[in-house]
Structure 1
Amino acid sequence: MASHKPTTRIDTHSSSQQWLGWGSRGDHRRIFAIALPMIISNIAAPLIGLVDTAIIGHLPESIYLSAVALGAMVVSFVFLLAIFLRMTTTAEAAQAFGAEDQPATERTLVHGLWLAWGLGLVLMIGAPGIIAGAWWIIQPSEELQLLASQYISIRLWAAPAALTNLVVLGVLLGRQQSKRAMILVIFTNAVNVVGDLILIIGLGMTVAGAAWASVIAEVATALLGLAMLKPLLPAIGPLWRVQREHLRRFAGMNRDVFIRSLLLQLCMAVMTGYAARFGAVVVAANAVLMQFLLLISLGLDGIAYAVEALVGAARGRKNSGEIRFWMRLTLVWSCVFACLYSLTFWLAGAWIIQTLTDLPDVIAVANRYLVWLWILPLLGHWSYYFDGVYIGLGLTQAMRDTMAISALLVFVPVWLGGQALLENNNANHGLWLALSLFLLARGVSQYWMLTRRYAVLLK
């Protein structure tokens, strides 16, 4: 495949096509050339996942669906914590792409793969410990535990392939090849569905069939992704040797993003886990409302991917003016998406809730807390946007620090204070207040740190 050359910062159209320093149509098209395929990917994956669930859900016993859902949740949590591989690889690949430095891209890819394979091997070997830890927390019934353990054990055989896919996606996004990234995401889910049809329906393998279908999908996607990156894969030899200094720096970046992701996931887990104190109906209502965050991420993640790639490439070209240019343009679209989400949830939030559940008591409780979803996109989009900026600039330590500030100094005090001050009927409002202020604090702390500690990067 031909290498993908970086393009110029902005369209070289006449000044009449520039909108008072806010870019030309071509500049905005370039943003969506990256963002739109990833938005489509974010939409397509859950839709194909519904087919996956429907296949398993038509088995004669409901425990099979429960086991797959529980096992998939554990595996997804483990792999989600490894998302740092995708983020840091995007940061390094985007910088190398902007600098037109193919050896640096090859070095990033090679070291990313070594980390993916090493961590994947650790997950494979550590599967019994992961399973034991999960059941210590969740404590399912004995029969459900047995089937879900079988699912997790099989799925973790694909850990090296799954982590390889994160590295491949990072390189593709860093090189602004998001259409290929979209193809990989859709391919994974499509192979998984076909595998389910053959192994579950055709061969009657139930839970094991669902697990092996996912393993096949991960491995097939890794092979396809590496084939896409073949021009960047050096021949077996000296270039595959680990460079200690580069690996130490790259591993440090991954450590920072891992801590950031862990803190984020723990805060999100509180929204469902702690709500159990308020009763099953409130837990269900919060679970429904948390799906609104999934809807928000469909659009804002797409913009964040564009920020990462465009700002990272500008960083590689050492062009601070270009960095500010893409920050300005992508911020416009982040604000637009936030306003659209807020308006949609205000006008159609009740309808979305009724689409997600038909339980009257859950609908009634969810509607009580819907007001938080009206304001959440306006408060939270800054954190999505600045995550993209920080990844593009390679400021992973700052991502970790701002997340720690927001989680430990804002979310936890507001959460605990809300539970102490509010009566039981309103205590769940305290949870949503904590989440809203947590997301706002992330954006504010990221802005403050960027303009104070790292202002030199923007001059």
Structure 2
Amino acid sequence: MRSKFYKLTAYNVLANITVPLTGLIDTAILGNLDTHIFMAGAALSGILFDFIFWMFGFLRMGTTGLTAQATGEKNDKESLLILVRSVILACCFGSCILVLSPYLKEIGFQILKGDPAVKSAGISYYDARIPGSIAVLCNYVFTGWFLGRERSASVLIATVFANAINITLDVWFILFLGWEAFGAGLATSISQFGMLVVFIFLFFRELKTNPSLKLSVLKEKTVYSLRGFVSLLHLNRDIFLRTLLLLLTFSLFRNFSSEAGTTILAANSILLQLILVSAYLVDGAALATESLAGNLYGEKNGKALKGLLYLALYTSFLFTSFFVAFIFVFPNFTFGTITKSSEVISLLVDYQYWLLPVLEIGAVAFVLDGFFIGLTRGKILRNSMLISVVFFFLPVAYFGKIFENNHLLWLSIAMLMTGRAITLSIQAKKFFKTAGLPSMIQNAN
């Protein structure tokens, strides 16, 4: 299992790291223009896209857990049914986003705080990126399906291809055509369609290499039965609420940052991008945990499940430790590469130390998230996030807003990670002590 875990983790890390690195390149290209208004505008618009897209993150997470369990049970028919139903849901949700996009923009930018120039840049970014909605949600589904089948290499290929398109178009649209924030949004939108094309190609290749995956299943009435969709939505409801709460916290954090001024918003946005880089590194282990936990649960192999969790936690600590150490040793190189604003760099140096508690404690939360997603225990994830937001994050963030203290705002993020790590650890211990591990070992024997 150890070799399989590290193989999946390596593929996941390579695939994941290109996503935030592309975001950093977006930020760096916009940040090296004559003004950081366009960078701040894209960051402000990013708050809306966090809501619009990532609240449908259950399409990826739910698909991964269910597919992994079906794969562990060697039920390829069910695996294909999960994919088809999830793609149908993704197309429906994506179409709704497009129809409602003018209203989402109007309401969103009325709520979000920022200078008029920053808002104008954010609206330009929004208009260019929103057409890719259906492609984004379908990519969530295909990513989850391939991860659930332990095909991380396929996710790596599609992700690298999409991000190569994004970076190339960023340089062309922003630096050569002068489209600024609009160019950054358009590059992202086009790259998502490119990623979807690659996923469809890889899906048909998967059909050829796995005879048990038969498209003839699409002719069966059960594929489109209401019962099948209701079952899928029931699981995804809890994951949706968990994701929505997480997005609310980071959106509040960035909105409170914007009230403190454009420079603070720019600095915090860069630190959040760095946190995303680390999170995607740790997510390599978390995604491998999702896949293998689901497979092992499907196989009723409880003993291996416990070993998997410890292995994932150990690996995630190593990832975050190396990442934080690099930033602390080379702060001028790290921050100077992203922005040329001396004022923003000065703030980044002041607040960089918050990366340590946020990332190290967050590593525990990310891995435990992956563990329970693999087990399709959405209720546990929902309750953990609710407790963490209400009792750990909000009180501290509220005082940070009142006193306009950025250190308190960062403390609120650290407290959020602490709450998630504590609550999920308690649930993991309970799982192995009671209904989880013992009964599974008994069933396996």
Between the two structures, name the one with larger relative contact order (CA 8 Å, sep ≥ 6): 2
Q: Counterpart amino acid of 2:6? A: F
Secondary structure of 1:409's counterpart equals helix
Question: Of 64, 69, 87, which aligns to 1:113?
Answer: 87
Is 2:411 the partner of 1:433?
yes
In the superposition, the TM-score normalised over structure 1's length comes to 0.80
Which residues of structure 2 form unaligned runs of 5+? 208-212, 439-445
Is 2:360 the partner of 1:386?
no
> Within 1, Cα distance between the matches of 2:44 and 2:131?
18
- Give the superposition deviation at 1:366: 3.3
In the superposition, relative to structure 1, how do residues 127 and 458 fare at CA in structure 2: closer, same or farther (>3 Å)?
Answer: same
Q: Contact 1:98–1:316 (CA<8 Å) still a contact in 2?
A: yes
Q: Counterpart amino acid of 1:330? A: A
Is 2:425 the partner of 1:447?
yes
Question: Of 417, 425, 436, which aligns to 1:457?
Answer: 436
Q: Counterpart amino acid of 1:402? A: S
Q: Contact 2:170–2:183 (CA<8 Å) still a contact in 1?
A: yes
- Give the superposition deviation at 1:215: 4.4
Q: Contact 2:60–2:140 (CA<8 Å) still a contact in 1?
A: yes
In the superposition, relative to structure 1, how do residues 210 and 89 fare at CA in structure 2: closer, same or farther (>3 Å)?
Answer: same
> Within 1, Cα distance between the matches of 2:26 and 2:93?
27
Question: Of 31, 36, 44, which aligns to 2:5?
Answer: 31
Q: Contact 1:164–1:222 (CA<8 Å) still a contact in 2?
A: yes
Is 2:215 the partner of 1:234?
yes
Q: Counterpart amino acid of 1:272? A: R
Q: Counterpart amino acid of 1:115? A: L
Pairing of 1:192-341 with structure 2 (within 5 A)? 192-193=166-167, 214-230=188-204, 231=207, 232=213, 234-235=215-216, 236-238=218-220, 241-341=223-323
Which residue of structure 2 aligns with residue 6 of structure 1? none
- Give the superposition deviation at 1:107: 1.5
- Give the superposition deviation at 1:87: 0.7
In the superposition, relative to structure 1, how do residues 135 and 415 fare at CA in structure 2: closer, same or farther (>3 Å)?
Answer: closer
Query: Is 443-452 or 218-227 further displaced after alignment?
Result: 218-227
Q: CA RMSD in A?
A: 3.6
Q: Contact 1:51–1:193 (CA<8 Å) still a contact in 2?
A: yes
Secondary structure of 2:215's counterpart equals coil
Which residue of structure 1 aligns with residue 110 of structure 2? 136
Secondary structure of 2:224's counterpart equals coil
> Within 1, Cα distance between the matches of 2:130 and 2:175?
23
Q: Contact 1:99–1:316 (CA<8 Å) still a contact in 2?
A: yes
Secondary structure of 1:241's counterpart equals helix
Larger Rg: 1
Question: Of 391, 413, 419, which aligns to 2:395?
Answer: 413
> Within 1, Cα distance between the matches of 2:343 and 2:247?
28
Is 2:17 the partner of 1:43?
yes
Q: Contact 2:25–2:167 (CA<8 Å) still a contact in 1?
A: yes
Pairing of 1:157-168 with structure 2 (within 5 A)? 157-168=131-142
- Give the superposition deviation at 1:66: 7.8
> Within 2, Cα distance between the matches of 1:141 and 1:282?
13
Secondary structure of 2:71's counterpart equals helix
Secondary structure of 1:369's counterpart equals helix
Query: Is 239-248 or 125-134 further displaced after alignment?
Result: 239-248
Which residue of structure 2 aligns with residue 18 of structure 1? none
Which residues of structure 1 form unaligned runs of 5+? 1-9, 11-26
Aligned identity (percent) is 27
How many residue pairs were aligned? 429
In the superposition, relative to structure 1, how do residues 93 and 276 fare at CA in structure 2: closer, same or farther (>3 Å)?
Answer: same
